């Protein structure tokens, strides 16, 4: 019988964390790529972060871990459809403050790539 593989504790290279900006229609627009430790500091300062990748549960788990590390108590929030079609699910402190959210991508809902600068 083969030995069981130990669960890897290294980060998923396909998962990325960004400092986003919020656009119109609820859009979450990727900004500078950051580490998980930097994401915790961003959340402690009340700023937004977004976890991107192809695996919903990984994204959700990392977003929750970032929020809990930054603010201890947090709650999951579904997509706020009133924010617009680009809105993402997220975790936020419970109770507030600080401000901000830890967004995460799903299979069908993705953060937007920043617009390429127009050529003069």
Cα–Cα separations (whole angstroms), residue 23 to 7, 85, 87, 104, 111: 38, 11, 10, 16, 10
- Name the CA dihedral angle for 46, 51, 57, 58, rounded to a multiple of 10 degrees: -110
What number of other Cβ atoms are within 10 A of residue 100's Cβ? 21
Q: In total, how many domains does the chain have?
A: 1
* Residue 11 placed within a domain: no
pLDDT per position as a tens digit, 45-101: 999 999 999 999 999 999 999 999 999 999 999 999 999 999 999 999 999 888 999
* Residue 116 placed within a domain: no
Per-chain mean pLDDT for the chain: 90
pLDDT per position as a tens digit, 43-55: 999 999 999 999 9
Judged against a pLDDT cut of 70, whether residue 7 lies above it is answered with no
Q: From its phi and psi, is residue 37 left (phi > 0), alpha (psi between -120 and 50) or beta?
A: alpha
* Residue 20 placed within a domain: yes
| Residues spanned by the domain of 80 | 16-104
* Residue 21 placed within a domain: yes
């Amino acid at each position: 019988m083969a030995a069981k593989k130990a669960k890897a504790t290294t980060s998923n290279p396909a998962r990325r964390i960004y400092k986003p900006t919020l656009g119109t229609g609820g859009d979450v627009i990727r900004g500078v790529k950051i580490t998980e430790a930097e994401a915790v500091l961003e959340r402690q300062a009340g700023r937004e972060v977004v976890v991107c990748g192809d695996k919903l549960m990984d994204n959700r788990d990392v977003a929750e871990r970032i929020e809990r590390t930054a603010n201890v108590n947090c709650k999951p929030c579904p997509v706020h459809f009133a924010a617009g079609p680009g809105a993402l699910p997220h975790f936020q402190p419970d109770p507030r403050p600080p401000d901000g959210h830890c967004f995460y991508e799903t299979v069908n809902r993705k953060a937007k790539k920043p617009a390429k600068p127009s050529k003069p």
